[in-house]
């Protein structure tokens, strides 16, 4: 075990640079902890000549990540390219075929192809690990897979997209509109190249799908995650929520119900005084409920060079130490298909809409809710202007399906201006 | 790897019962996750005939835990007896000599003998694991040892004794005295047989010493932890703290300073709005700072049957999976002696004292602080009664050593009634 662990690192962007920096700075510490030297053998990236502020000259260079993945002088292929298909997928597949262990930070790749990749890796006797793909520096994959291995997990919950949490908390603290903060986040470089990955809840949905697979022993089922983004949240939603003692968070919840696995990633109202409600800025939080342990809450930086590289190193040191845990905590071939239970648990909902100001408009809306079996906890008309009347409604506990039926029926009344914003209220 | 992992469990109290219950209830789940069946082969406890509400008839029984530890038909010896010496130590030593892996929840044993036991285990090729010894169900040993293995750890901090946190938060919320809540906790069975282990900070100090060893690569040095208990905290301290926006917590801090390792477990004032300040009841929190990851915060139940058994199972499943990480994250023989730096970092301090009510008394106290180079941020006399004058002082940042000198000098002035309560203010 004193032979070095040889790495091939593909993708030298933010996370790749951070990973190389740690490997250079802490070589002795990592050798002590891993029980053997950990060496970078070769690297690959799109642009060889870019100055990344880190020494690369001592490593062999491959222009093609697939060629790097196939080298027979590496033990672990570290995939930090990103993207659900293309070179990242090709290279990871090539590495597995070559029998190499793989460490990746790529949630999109795993959310779409993780099941097939994990099965293939296991058939090859290789490990495929992804701590850095979920919640940045928070060691939540390890906590769930290993730390809570004695538990039947009942629920996985979390705020797992720092950009969305930054936008929502900044709207609240600075009193800015969604568009203003979105522009600000874009300037700061907080957004993905395709920002709908962030604000559409897709990136966070990828992460939730991966955690759900470990938690419930089910095949990765990203398509089973009910996704809603934060694009329709207005500053007035955040203010109404605050008036009622709630904060708006893009919250992921996966839980096993009597009807199957319910998984959703959507903006929700959570109590301001709860740990989730108090989570500010780009920080992430993962909440794990187990039958023996009760609730464990993990908080930390969800993105950034250092935190994400820290997670990559966790997987690399594990491999150096000989920890060969399965990708999803048990053999991928044993995972069962997730039986999808859409919106199986009821909750109160917050509704905001604008009505045309004419007699009986509000009565029509209330009637549609009543017909769907949904009772109203409180209702308030506010900021009334000539011609239009904004309305805020909080329902009693209702099923999402019934609510969606009511919303469809409301649209047919002809008294609505624009769309209804409907946010689940989670008493977490 | 499909041969069963055979356990010998010694000590069937609360945690032992919980561990057996999980092994019975989740046999299939544990086999799927561990990659092999996990079986209880034999058990040992003081009283064979006690009804523990769990089936034991199918296991072989040993009256003597040392005999259990030596059996050649077990793979892992699970020590849940407790106590720093006596049968727990004898049995763990016997198990290691027999080449068995050991899982223990015994912080006292490891804080005193962990260094020698880990060295001996490694020489035998056995692993010695202790997730359940620190912060109950929170997988903090794993997070630190494995999850943050890529970091130079700069600080480990936490509230790690649920009983003390229960007493302090209950004093605050119910307005009861220390003695009243202590009696209540005793009736509820929250206290150790020797309650000074809890309220004296010893139990929490054991845990801090273990985490510090992993964090800084130093030999376990419990004697190097500066210990203070919560016995002298009065309801008025908690109220004064609250008036200033602070909560009183028994807080452990271990950090590497330029002068060496500073480790202390003492009641401190922390901001009410901080995660530590908001920690209520018997919950524990561990805060880990690393150079790459930044800060990771972990929260969960610090004690109790389910949470502690969850942690025991984490170690057992790890062993089933073939994870053979070293006790303290690197070979015990490589750990370096901790260079002790007592109170190397300055902080503001809260001081409460009662002065005899005579002219110049307060001036004498202020003069002693000034002579020690400690400046006063605020000072207040309150609840003045005939003959005695309670005084509250908040200092600017000072070294603990200088403060202790000033306190000694104050005692010589003859104006003090009783002892001075001095609490560090941690801006965490």
The active-site residue out of B107, B207, B219, B249 is: B207
Distances (CA, A) of A114 to A122, A207, A302, A410, B45: 12, 12, 21, 41, 46
Span B325-349, mean pLDDT? 93
Q: Which of B426, B160, B154, B134 is nearest to B293 (CA)?
A: B154
What is the three-class DSSP state of A297?
A: strand
R_g of chain B computed on alpha carbons: 24
Task: Please state which CATH number belongs to domain A140-302.
Answer: 3.30.360.10
**Which residues make Cβ contacts (< 8 Å) with residue A387, sequence separation at least 6?**
A356, A357
Q: Do A137 and B318 touch (CB under 8 A)?
A: no
What is the percent of chain B where pLDDT is above 90?
A: 89
Q: Which of B118, B115, B110 is nearest to B134 (CA)?
A: B110
Span B86-98, mean pLDDT? 98
The model's pLDDT over A136-159, given as tens digits with 9 standing for 90+, comes to 999 999 999 999 999 999 999 999
Q: Are A79 and A10 in contact (CB under 8 A)?
A: yes
Q: Do A306 and B291 touch (CB under 8 A)?
A: yes
Contacts of B219 in chain A (CB under 8 A): none
Terminal C-alpha separation, chain A: 46
Q: Which band of pLDDT confidence, cut at 50, 70 and 90, is reported for residue A358?
A: confident
Q: Which residue of chain A has the CA closest to B139?
A: A147
Contacts of B138 in chain A (CB under 8 A): 296
Q: Which two tokens stand for residue A415?
A: 């008294």
Torsion of CA B78, B83, B89, B91, to 10 degrees: -40
Contacts of A309 in chain B (CB under 8 A): 150, 292
* DSSP 8-state code for residue A222: G
Q: Do A147 and B148 touch (CB under 8 A)?
A: no
Span B165-191, mean pLDDT? 91
Q: Where are the domains of chain A?
A: 5-133, 140-302, 349-425
Q: Which residue of chain A has the CA closest to B137?
A: A293
Q: Which residue of chain B has the CA closest to A32?
A: B330
What is the three-class DSSP state of A417?
A: strand
The model's pLDDT over B260-319, given as tens digits with 9 standing for 90+, comes to 999 999 999 999 988 999 998 889 999 999 999 999 999 999 999 999 999 999 999 999
- The three-state (H, E, C) secondary structure of chain B, written as one string: CCCCEEEEEECCCHHHHHHHHHHHHCHHHHHHHHCCCEEEEEEECCCCCCCCCCCCCCCEEECCHHHHHHCCCCCEEEECCCCCCCHHHHHHHHHHHCCCEEEECCHHHHHHHHHHHHHHHHHCCCCEECHHHCCCCCCHHHHHHHHCCCCCEEEEEEECCHHHHHHHHHHHHHCCCHHHHHHHHHHCCCCCCCCHHHHCCHHHHHHHHHHHHHHHCECCCHHHCEECCCCCCCHHHHHHHHHCCEEEEEEEEEEEECCEEEEEEEEEEEECCCCCCCCCCCEEEEEEEECCCEEEEEEEECCCHHHHHHHHHHHHHHHHHCCCCCCCCCCHHHCECCCECCCCCCECEEEEEEEECCCCHHHHHHHHHHHCCCCEEEEEECCCECCEEEEEEEECCECHHHHHHHHHHHHCCCCEEEEEEEEEECCC
Active site (catalytic) residues of A? 207
Q: Do B297 and A294 touch (CB under 8 A)?
A: no
The model's pLDDT over A17-31, given as tens digits with 9 standing for 90+, comes to 999 999 999 999 999
Q: How far is B30 from chain A (nearest CA, A)?
A: 7
Give chain B's mean pLDDT.
95
Q: Do B292 and A275 touch (CB under 8 A)?
A: no
Q: How far is A120 from chain B (nearest CA, A)?
A: 18
The model's pLDDT over A199-223, given as tens digits with 9 standing for 90+, comes to 999 999 999 999 999 999 999 999 9
Which phi and psi angles does B54 have, rounded to 5°? -145, 140
Contacts of B131 in chain A (CB under 8 A): 147
Q: Which band of pLDDT confidence, cut at 50, 70 and 90, is reported for residue B2?
A: confident
* DSSP 8-state code for residue A336: B
Q: Do B33 and A298 touch (CB under 8 A)?
A: no
Q: Going by DSSP bridges, is the β-strand pair A349-356/A153-159 parallel, antiparallel, or unpaired?
A: unpaired
Q: Which two tokens stand for residue A426?
A: 């989670």
As a whole number of angstroms, the distance between CA B366 and CA B376 comes to 8
As a whole number of angstroms, the distance between CA B141 and CA B307 comes to 14
The model's pLDDT over A72-126, given as tens digits with 9 standing for 90+, comes to 999 999 999 999 999 999 999 999 999 999 999 999 999 999 999 999 999 999 9
pLDDT of residue A185: 87
pLDDT of residue B417: 93
Contacts of B314 in chain A (CB under 8 A): 146-150
What is the three-class DSSP state of A169?
A: helix
What is the three-class DSSP state of A49?
A: coil
Q: Do A142 and B138 touch (CB under 8 A)?
A: no
**Domains A5-133 and A140-302 alike in fold:** no
pLDDT of residue A82: 95
Span B168-177, mean pLDDT? 94
Is residue A94 within a helix (H) or strand (E), and if so which, with residue range?
helix A87-97
Q: Which residue of chain A has the CA closest to B142?
A: A147
Choose among B297, B301, B323: nearest Cβ to A293: B301
Span B120-128, mean pLDDT? 98
Span A299-320, mean pLDDT? 96
Distances (CA, A) of A305 to A43, A190, A310, B113, B291: 18, 12, 8, 39, 11
Q: How far is A298 from chain B (nearest CA, A)?
A: 5
The structure tokens 């009183």 sit at B248
Beta-bridged to residue A77, according to DSSP, are A8, A102
Q: Are B207 and B107 in contact (CB under 8 A)?
A: yes
Is residue A378 within a helix (H) or strand (E), and if so which, with residue range?
strand A376-381
Q: Do A295 and B300 touch (CB under 8 A)?
A: yes
What is the percent of chain B where pLDDT is above 70?
A: 100
Q: Which two tokens stand for residue B251?
A: 């807080």
Within A260-360, where are the H helices?
305-321
Q: Which residue of chain A has the CA closest to B36?
A: A330
pLDDT of residue A92: 98
Q: Which residue of chain B has the CA closest to A289?
A: B300
Contacts of B35 in chain A (CB under 8 A): 326, 330-331
The model's pLDDT over B199-215, given as tens digits with 9 standing for 90+, comes to 999 999 999 999 999 99
B349-425 belongs to CATH 3.30.70.260: yes
R_g of chain A computed on alpha carbons: 24
As a whole number of angstroms, the distance between CA A161 and CA A158 comes to 9
Contacts of A304 in chain B (CB under 8 A): 294
Q: Do B139 and A143 touch (CB under 8 A)?
A: yes
Q: Which of A415, A416, A418, A420 is nearest to A404 (CA)?
A: A420
Span A235-249, mean pLDDT? 95
Give chain A's mean pLDDT.
95
As a whole number of angstroms, the distance between CA A328 and CA A142 comes to 10
Q: How far is B29 from chain A (nearest CA, A)?
A: 8
Q: What is B5-133's CATH topology?
A: Rossmann fold (3.40.50)
pLDDT of residue A387: 83
Q: Is a pLDDT exceeding 80 seen at residue B343?
A: no
Within A233-365, strands assigned E span 246-257, 260-271, 283-290, 294-301, 349-356
**Which residues make Cβ contacts (< 8 Å) with residue A183, sequence separation at least 6?**
none
Q: Which of B232, B363, B252, B308 is nearest to A290 (CA)?
A: B308
| Chain B interface test: which of A150, A157, A217, A312 (most B C-beta within 10 Å) | A150
| Range in A313-322, B158-167, B189-198 the model is least confident about | B189-198
Q: What is B140-301's CATH topology?
A: Dihydrodipicolinate Reductase; domain 2 (3.30.360)
Is residue A8 within a helix (H) or strand (E), and if so which, with residue range?
strand A5-10
């Amino acid at each position: 075990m004193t032979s070095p662990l040889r790495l091939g690192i593909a993708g030298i962007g933010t996370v790749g640079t951070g990973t190389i920096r740690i490997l250079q700075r802490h070589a002795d510490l990592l050798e002590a902890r891993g029980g053997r030297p950990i060496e970078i053998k070769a690297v690959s990236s799109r642009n060889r000549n870019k100055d990344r502020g880190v020494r690369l000259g001592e490593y062999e260079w491959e222009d093609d990540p697939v060629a790097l993945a196939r080298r027979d002088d590496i033990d672990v292929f570290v995939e930090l390219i990103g993207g659900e298909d293309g070179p990242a997928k090709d290279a990871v597949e090539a590495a597995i075929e070559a029998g190499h262990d793989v460490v990746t930070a790529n949630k999109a790749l795993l959310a779409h192809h993780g099941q097939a990749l994990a099965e293939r890796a296991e058939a090859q006797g290789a490990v495929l690990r992804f701590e850095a793909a979920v919640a940045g520096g928070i060691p939540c994959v390890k906590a769930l897979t290993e730390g809570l291995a004695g538990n039947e997990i009942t629920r996985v919950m979390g705020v797992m997209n720092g950009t969305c949490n930054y936008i929502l908390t900044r709207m609240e603290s600075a009193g800015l509109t969604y568009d203003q903060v979105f522009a600000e986040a874009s300037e700061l470089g907080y957004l993905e190249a395709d920002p709908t990955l962030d604000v559409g809840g897709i990136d966070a949905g990828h992460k939730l799908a991966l955690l759900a697979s470990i938690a419930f022993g089910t095949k990765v089922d990203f398509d089973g995650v009910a996704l809603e983004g934060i694009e329709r949240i207005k500053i007035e939603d955040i203010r109404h929520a605050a008036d009622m003692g709630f904060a708006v968070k893009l919250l992921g919840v996966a839980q096993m119900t009597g009807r199957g696995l319910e998984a959703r990633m959507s903006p929700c109202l959570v109590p301001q005084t709860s740990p989730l409600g108090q989570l500010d800025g780009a920080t992430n939080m993962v909440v794990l409920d187990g039958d023996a342990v009760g609730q464990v809450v993990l908080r930390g930086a969800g993105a950034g060079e250092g935190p994400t590289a820290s997670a990559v190193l966790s997987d690399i040191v594990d491999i150096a130490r000989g920890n060969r845990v399965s990708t999803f905590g048990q053999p991928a071939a044993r995972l069962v298909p997730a039986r999808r239970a859409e919106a199986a648990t009821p909750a109160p909902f917050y509704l905001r809409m604008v009505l045309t100001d004419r007699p009986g408009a509000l009565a029509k809306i209330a009637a549609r809710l009543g017909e769907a079996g949904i009772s109203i906890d409180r209702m308030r008309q506010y900021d009334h202007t000539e011609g239009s009347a904004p309305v805020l409604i909080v329902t009693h506990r209702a099923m999402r399906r019934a609510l969606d039926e009511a919303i469809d029926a409301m649209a047919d009344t002809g008294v609505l201006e624009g769309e209804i914003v409907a946010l689940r209220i989670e008493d977490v």
